[in-house]
Structures are given as C-alpha cells and as structure tokens.
Amino acid sequence: MAHDLFTDDLSRANNDELFSAIDEFAKAQPSEGWRHDYTAVWGDSALEKTAAFANTFGGLLIVGVSKPKQDVVCKVVGVDSQVELKTAVASSIAANISPTPFYEVFECHAPGQSNKRFCVVRIRSSGALHLLTKKGLKPVYVRNEDEARPADAAQLRRLIDRERELRTDPMRARQQAMNLAGALIVYRGYREKDSPTWFYSGCTPSPTYLQIALTPSEPLILELDRSHEVSLARLVAEVYPRINDGLRQNVAESAESRRANSYEYVWYHKACDYEVRWLINGDGSVANACEMKRAETGTDKALWSVVDLATDIVLFLKLSMLWWQLIRYFGDGHLAVQLRLPGLSLARTDDGIYMRGMDLTYQTAARRKPLSMEAGVILATARPTDMAGADVRLNYFSATTDSTRIATSLLNSLLRCLGHAAVWELLEENVRLLSAG
C-alpha cells in the first residue's frame, strides 16, 4: 500500500516507495486543490505556493510533477539534477520566507534514473504571517482554490488580525470549544412524545451525557441562513443513518431551533427516551451532545457503552469535517469532549465483550453483525470515576486522513480519566473497525 503523503512518516519510506506514492498521488489527484499543488521545477512560483500554503491552511507541494492548466492529467517528469535537490529547496525557503514556516522535505528519484529527482514539501500553517522577502515578488501570498495569489487588502488585514489574536490568546479556541460543548444540554422524559409540539412539553436535563465540540483556531464570520440549516440536517442524515430511519419508522421525532448566530437540530427516540443534538455557530464551530444511559434488557441496571462513545466520536469527526468542507475552512481547530456517567456501569457480556447501546449507524432494513469491542481492549477498574474530559488540536487534513488515531487518542484519554486503562494497539484497531463498519 502506498504511503500517505500528507500524514505518513516519509523518512521511513525507501526511494522506490516514495516515488510510487508520488506517482499514485499525481494520478489520483490530477487537479490542484486547497491543500496540494505541483511544480515541475523549484523556482519563484514554488516559493509563492509555499508561502501561500503557510499563510492559509498548510499543504503539500510536489516538485518534479508538471500540471499545466490546459492538461487534464499530471506528468511525472522529475527535475533533471545530478545532485541532491532537497538541500536547495530547504535553503531557498529559509532564505526567502520570513518567518520560516514549519516544513518537511523528502526526496527520491525515478527508479533507475538517479538524475530524475522529486521532492515532497509538506508545509504547516501556524497562524503567523509569512512574508516573501525575495526581490521582485509580492510580499504576501494566500491560497485560493487551486492557486497561490497575492493577498488583497482584506486578506492581509485578516492575516494580521489572526496573528495578533493567536499571540494574545493562544488558548482561545480550546476554551471556546470546552464552553460550547458544556452549553449543549440533552433532555429526557418528554411528557408529550407524540404531540406535534413535543419539543415544548415537560422534560428534565439528562444527568448522563456526552458533549463534544470543535472550534476553528481562526475565527470565521459566517452569515447563517436557511441553506446552512438544510445542509446540516442533510449531513446529519448522511453520517448518522439511524436519524432518518427512526423518523420514517415513526419511533423518533425531530425539531429545530435558531438564534441570530446559531442553529440547533434535535432528534429524540421516543421508545428509548434518548436525545441527540447538533449545533452550528456563525464562527464555524460545530457541536454535538447525546444521552449516554441505557437500560439492560429485563433489568433495572443502568449501563453505558464504550462502543457508543467510540462511534459517536468517529461520527462527529466525520460530520465536522464535512461541515468545514462545506463552509470552505481547511485550517486548524480545537476539539473538546466532556463525559458524565453517574451511576452507570460499562455494558459488556459475561465473557467481557463490550457491546453497543444506542448505535446511530443502525438501520432497520440492514442486516449486519452488532458493533462491539473485544474484551482485552480495556482493563476496567472496579471503582471508576463518573466524569471525564479530553481535548486535542487538529486540522482538516489530519481529521480526514487520520481520524482513527484522533478518535483513539480522545477515547484513551477519556477512559484514563474514568480510571480505566486501554491497550493502545487493540483500541486503535477496534476504533478502525468501528469506523469502517
């Protein structure tokens, strides 16, 4: 399997593996995009693209691949050089972009042709304003769709404001995500479940819940309108198949509410007394909250499912990245999770298998094996705590290409807060299977 040019440790790839990864990437991604571009040789245009990536969302620049605008496919041509190329690339970046962005350079040559050289340059956005200092070039470039452009006055103002805000309040996004997650409350015990106005009937806040929120590191100004609300409902139905299935089966109800700068979509399963909420804000934030309690069949024992917890995190990551893609944000963000489980025991079988509770990927007509986690994944403590929290920094591409690892990291942190221990390799493999299932 080819290496992932965005996320893999390419220093461990041998020459032919890296060339194969470049060749396959160029064939699979023939058009440039927000986060990747090509250049046949290293020159001023490559410097502009590097600075633009650094000032926008970061990205991947592949040197040695030709992609003229009129062509529909890339040409993997290589740079004709008998000497190492990456040293010249690194020196050029360091000498001509200030401050120097965080970047990595990996080099290979075409098999059997040591003079046909290629470089993969990975650039990370840091929130700083990166200036091109080379004479004859515009000082500030930004990424726009598939090209690097000189920043206009409005874009330059935004970059300056972003840099100033990150310097003065580096933890803003983290705190905002935690506040947003904590403010999204789920309810239970609606008294008029079958009424058209069920949403306004008597109910009580649920003492058990999962709250999760993602906030962009760069504040956005999004004028919310009905199209955004419809888009959120569509994405929820796409990512969480049980939502529309429950509505069709008349076992669930939905409702919505809005304020000047936010929109909330609510789904409630009447028989299970189970509520889920999704929220979007005009700053690009997205949040989700749901009930965690379920009753063991035939008993009064109250349980919670680690399978549900893992699945909910995975689904939220997918939903939030689709939302960011829709609003055209491909940058960094902070994700915060809060979990409360008073009086609940882990749901597991007699032989230790961890079982699902309220699986939101379930569909009535689908036949499949129930989701579960193997017994050895978690070393459960006999005296767990009932509250946990975790947070992580991420960006669009890490969350889309490496969501399993992000979900595993969050889940591991939450379990440890509760007093449990997880076997990382097994946990990650089980999360991967849940993501694929």
Residue 53 pLDDT exceeds 60: yes
Q: Are 242 and 232 in contact (CB under 8 A)?
A: no
Strands (E), 49-160: 59-63, 65-66, 75-76, 79-80, 97-98, 102-110, 113-124, 131-132, 141-144, 147-150
Q: Are 389 and 336 in contact (CB under 8 A)?
A: yes
User: Do 320 and 269 fall into the same domain?
Assistant: yes
Q: Which residue has the higher pLDDT, 29 or 115?
A: 115
Residue 217 domain-assigned? Answer: yes
User: Do 214 and 349 fall into the same domain?
Assistant: yes
Residue 32 domain-assigned? Answer: yes
For residue 350, the model assigns a pLDDT of 87
* Distance (Å, whole) CA 178 – CA 173: 9
Share of residues in the chain with pLDDT > 90 (%): 64
For residue 185, the model assigns a pLDDT of 93
Of residues 122, 58, 56, 52, the one with CA closest to residue 90: 122
Label residue 162 by pLDDT band (50, 70, 90). confident
CATH code for position 142: 3.30.950.30
Q: Last residue of a domain, which of 111, 144, 168?
A: 168
Q: Are 390 and 413 in contact (CB under 8 A)?
A: yes
User: Do 136 and 190 fall into the same domain?
Assistant: no
Please compute the mean of the pLDDT values over residues 362-390 and round it to a whole number: 87
Please compute the mean of the pLDDT values over residues 30-53 and round it to a whole number: 92
Q: Last residue of a domain, which of 151, 168, 185?
A: 168
Please compute the mean of the pLDDT values over residues 66-82 and round it to a whole number: 86
Residue 91 domain-assigned? Answer: yes
Q: Last residue of a domain, which of 168, 185, 218?
A: 168
For residue 299, the model assigns a pLDDT of 55
Least confident of 58-72, 73-87, 102-116, 356-370: 356-370
Residue 395 pLDDT exceeds 90: no
For residue 8, the model assigns a pLDDT of 82
Label residue 265 by pLDDT band (50, 70, 90). very high
Q: Are 395 and 57 in contact (CB under 8 A)?
A: yes
For residue 354, the model assigns a pLDDT of 93
- Could you give the angle at the alpha carbon of 137 between the alpha carbons of 135 and 141, nearest 5°? 140
For residue 181, the model assigns a pLDDT of 86
**Longest distance between any two alpha carbons in the chain, whole Å:** 78
User: Do 240 and 160 fall into the same domain?
Assistant: no
Residue 127 pLDDT exceeds 80: no
Residue 2 domain-assigned? Answer: no
Residue 4 domain-assigned? Answer: no
User: Do 69 and 176 fall into the same domain?
Assistant: no
Query: CA 369 → CA 90, 158, 353, 434, distances in Å?
Result: 51, 50, 14, 11
Please compute the mean of the pLDDT values over residues 339-364 and round it to a whole number: 90
For residue 391, the model assigns a pLDDT of 92
User: Do 275 and 132 fall into the same domain?
Assistant: no
Of residues 175, 134, 155, the one with CA closest to residue 48: 134
User: Do 328 and 405 fall into the same domain?
Assistant: yes
User: Do 154 and 233 fall into the same domain?
Assistant: no
Residue 37 domain-assigned? Answer: yes
Burial class (CB in 10 A: 0-12, 13-18, 19+), 313: buried
Label residue 330 by pLDDT band (50, 70, 90). confident
DSSP label at 138? -
Label residue 168 by pLDDT band (50, 70, 90). low
User: Do 160 and 199 fall into the same domain?
Assistant: no
Task: Output the six-digit token pair for 161.
Answer: 């404001």
* Distance (Å, whole) CA 64 – CA 336: 40
User: Do 203 and 125 fall into the same domain?
Assistant: no
Question: pLDDT, tens digit, for every residue of 205-245?
Answer: 999 999 999 998 876 788 999 999 999 999 999 999 999 99
For residue 175, the model assigns a pLDDT of 83
Element (H, E) at 405: helix 403-418
User: Do 23 and 105 fall into the same domain?
Assistant: yes
Label residue 153 by pLDDT band (50, 70, 90). very high
* Distance (Å, whole) CA 327 – CA 129: 23
Residue with tokens 């939101």: 360
- Could you give the angle at the alpha carbon of 342 between the alpha carbons of 338 and 346, nearest 5°? 90
Domain containing 153 equals 10-168
User: Do 114 and 201 fall into the same domain?
Assistant: no
Label residue 387 by pLDDT band (50, 70, 90). very high
Q: Which residue has the higher pLDDT, 218 or 356?
A: 356
155 φ/ψ sector (left φ>0, alpha ψ -120 to 50, else beta): alpha
Residue 295 domain-assigned? Answer: yes
- How many C-beta neighbours within 10 Å does residue 254 have? 17
Q: Which residue has the higher pLDDT, 332 or 45?
A: 45
* Distance (Å, whole) CA 301 – CA 313: 25
Is the C-alpha dihedral spanning 356, 310, 369, 237 positive or negative? positive
Residue 5 domain-assigned? Answer: no
Number of domains the chain contains = 2
